Amino acid sequence: MLRWAILLLVPAILLGQHRGHSSSVPPPPTASPDFKDVVATFGGVLKNLSKKEITLDLDDSHELMTFRRTKETKFSDNGTEVKATLIDLETHVTIDAKQDPDSKLRAVAVKAGKDPKAEESKSATK
């Protein structure tokens, strides 16, 4: 009887130990539903513009930040809607972005034009 109990318990113990070590990848963090429609604005110099991504050198910290580009992303230059290819690299732009469910930023609007900080400093020196 003891032999049968041991034979039944050993496989159960081995399977129980194996269960905690799954090789599956944990799901990505999701954005809080409270922030799904919040739009944040970033300003800087346009460094890269591809079909899927936009890279910006931020004004304040000079860090590179990458945004997703979708077919809904709108581009404008001095208030006029333009194709993305008409905005040159190294141009100062402002990007309005939303957070996707996987916590990455998606560009909603890219606005090229005069650098507002440069304009403020010019008017302050006059």
> In sequence order, what are the residues at sequence separation of 6 or more whose Cβ sits closer than 8 angstroms to the Cβ of residue 42?
56, 58, 65, 67, 94, 95, 97
Q: Is the pTM of this model over 0.95?
A: no
Encode burial over 58-97: b for 16+ CB neighbours within 10 A, e otherwise: eeeeeeebbbbbeeebebbbeeeeeeeeebeeeebbbbbb
Task: Residue 44: count other Cβ atoms within 10 Å of its Cβ.
Answer: 21
CA atoms within 13 A on the CB side of 66: 8
pLDDT tens figures, 85-125: 999 999 999 999 999 888 899 999 999 986 555 454 444 44
Strand partners, 68: 53, 106
State the DSSP code for 56: E
One CATH from 3.20.20.80, 2.40.50.320, 3.40.50.300, 1.10.10.10 for 36-125? 2.40.50.320
> pLDDT, tens digit, for every residue of 56-75?
999 989 899 999 999 999 99
